């Protein structure tokens, strides 16, 4: 029994010694700004995109108030949205509070001082030290939401977008005074369970609806499953998506939605508007083309399928369709709708380019039928 214990212990020690400690995981760096405006040192957290060191690109910046709570979420959320390329890479800046009392004061009665801190110290520091473009989005929860809701309307060209949650209000006078030559985006979120702030958020929404300020693109959503302490993270995700709503490829639920929105004319206007914001050209993205072709296939709509194939020249020869599965599927689709000429082309191509595939028997059978009926 003793020998067994010793053997087991030696195995445990051997396994433990085989494990090695890697490099620490880091999502950013801490910087300290000696603020003359606030007469104190303020700590900020900065995350740089993965491509920053190897590129010469300029990046949009997401400014996160109360960075002590939301900086790590902001980094994670924008990285998650980057996986399907729904948004561009971003620099993330978290601005930490000093104390609970000063937080309330600077987001309240001393808000002009905090705005000066942002405008004259934080933003110039970020823009001079890092490669930034003109896009700046600011996020704020609760007290910070009230501060941002006024600041985004009063301070021209300071931020191009704002995300506020669990709070926020601006008077009708401030809303009427909003002026901007370019679009400014405002995303607002709250929950009916946030009994402390929901009344003012609803009132703010009514003021915006009533006045509908020119060039303010705003959206208000309720998430009643959330509470005051939990909504901020979801609101940040939804707000970033709203700001970049036309950055990603355009996707439709079905062909009916495509038709209801205006069909190919809507498609052209969408990508024209996207180009105006993000560049570089107004061509319809391949992802959107593929989705429309696949929708026509799934809905067995041969007329739409044919119109997309003609409109998007070469769509069936792109990399997505360069395999035996697609040659077989497209061949049978044409065969079903009695287009025997095209059915033959796809079956023959599939058999020639992808011999001994899992679809060989199906393609041979399809080719035989298409050939016999194409005489």
Q: What is the mean pLDDT of residues 99-119?
A: 93
Q: Which two tokens stand for residue 42?
A: 């303020």
Q: pTM for this structure?
A: 0.88
Give dist(CA 71, CA 280) in Å, integer.
31
- 110 pLDDT higher than 80: yes
Q: Which two tokens stand for residue 86?
A: 């729904």
Give dist(CA 307, CA 125) in Å, integer.
53
**In which element (H, E) is residue 148 found?**
helix 143-154
- 12 pLDDT higher than 60: no
Q: Mind listing the pLDDT tens digit for each residue in 30-79?
A: 999 999 999 999 999 999 999 999 999 999 999 999 999 999 999 999 99
Side-chain-side CA neighbours of residue 111 (13 Å): 15
Share of the chain above pLDDT 90, in %: 86
- 368 pLDDT higher than 90: yes
The band of 1, judged by pLDDT with boundaries at 50, 70 and 90, is: very low
Short-list 167, 227, 142, 230, CA closest to 193: 227
Q: Which two tokens stand for residue 171?
A: 């008077």
Domains in the chain, please, with CATH?
Answer: 29-243 (3.40.50.1820), 255-373 (1.25.40)
Question: What is the signed CA dihedral for 9, 12, 14, 17, rounded to 10 degrees?
Answer: -120
Contact 237, 277 (CB under 8 A): no
Phi first, then psi, for residue 125 (nearest 5°) are -65, -45
Phi first, then psi, for residue 30 (nearest 5°) are -95, 135
Side-chain-side CA neighbours of residue 41 (13 Å): 4
Is the Cα torsion angle 33, 38, 42, 46 positive or negative in sign? negative
Q: What is the pLDDT of residue 336?
A: 97
The length of the chain is 375
Show Cβ contacts of residue 127 under 8 Å, excluding neighbours closer than 6 positions. none
pLDDT averaged over every residue in the chain: 93
Q: Mind listing the pLDDT tens digit for each residue in 246-290?
A: 998 899 999 999 999 999 999 999 999 999 998 888 889 999 999
Q: Strand pairing partners for 259?
A: none
The band of 2, judged by pLDDT with boundaries at 50, 70 and 90, is: very low
Give dist(CA 200, CA 168) in Å, integer.
7
| β pairing state of 29-35 and 40-47 | antiparallel
- 3 pLDDT higher than 70: no
The C-alpha angle with vertex 260 and arms to 259 and 261, in degrees rounded to 5, equals: 90
The C-alpha angle with vertex 90 and arms to 89 and 91, in degrees rounded to 5, equals: 140
Give dist(CA 135, CA 126) in Å, integer.
13
Q: What is the pLDDT of residue 163?
A: 98
Q: What is the pLDDT of residue 15?
A: 53
- Please state whether the peptide bond connecting residue 280 to the residue before it is cis, i.e. omega within 30 degrees of 0: yes
Contact 141, 206 (CB under 8 A): no
């Amino acid at each position: 029994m003793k020998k067994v214990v010793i053997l087991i212990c030696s195995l445990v020690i051997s396994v433990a010694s085989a494990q090695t400690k890697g490099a620490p995981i880091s999502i950013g760096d801490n910087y300290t700004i000696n603020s003359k405006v606030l007469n104190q040192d303020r700590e900020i957290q900065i995350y740089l995109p993965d491509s920053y060191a190897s590129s010469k690109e300029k990046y949009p910046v997401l400014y996160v108030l109360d960075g002590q709570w939301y900086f790590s979420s902001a980094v994670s959320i924008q990285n998650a949205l980057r996986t399907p390329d729904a948004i561009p890479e971003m620099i993330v800046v978290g601005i930490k509070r000093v104390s609970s009392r000063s937080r309330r004061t600077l987001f309240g009665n001393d808000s002009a001082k905090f705005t000066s801190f942002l405008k004259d110290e934080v933003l110039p520091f970020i823009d001079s030290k890092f490669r930034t473009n003109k896009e700046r989005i600011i996020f704020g929860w609760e007290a910070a939401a009230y501060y941002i809701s006024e600041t985004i309307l009063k301070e021209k060209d300071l931020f191009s977008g704002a995300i506020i949650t669990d709070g926020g209000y601006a008077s009708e006078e401030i809303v009427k005074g909003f002026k901007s030559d370019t679009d400014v985006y405002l995303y607002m979120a709250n929950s009916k369970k946030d009994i402390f702030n929901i009344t003012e958020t609803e009132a703010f929404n009514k003021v915006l609806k009533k006045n509908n300020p020119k060039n303010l693109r705003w959206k208000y959503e309720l998430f009643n499953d959330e509470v005051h302490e939990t909504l901020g993270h979801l609101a940040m995700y939804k707000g970033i998506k709203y700001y970049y709503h036309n950055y990603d490829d355009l996707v439709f639920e079905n062909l009916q939605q495509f038709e209801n929105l205006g069909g190919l004319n809507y498609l052209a206007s969408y990508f024209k508007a996207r180009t105006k914001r993000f560049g570089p050209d107004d061509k319809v993205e391949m992802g959107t083309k593929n989705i429309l072709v696949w929708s026509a296939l799934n809905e067995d709509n041969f007329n739409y399928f044919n119109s997309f194939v003609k409109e998007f020249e070469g769509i069936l020869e792109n990399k997505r369709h360069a395999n035996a599965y697609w040659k077989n599927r497209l061949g049978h689709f044409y065969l079903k709708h009695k287009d025997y000429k095209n059915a033959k082309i796809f079956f023959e191509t599939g058999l020639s380019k992808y011999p001994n595939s899992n679809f060989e028997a199906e393609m041979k059978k399809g080719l035989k039928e298409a050939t016999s009926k194409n005489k």
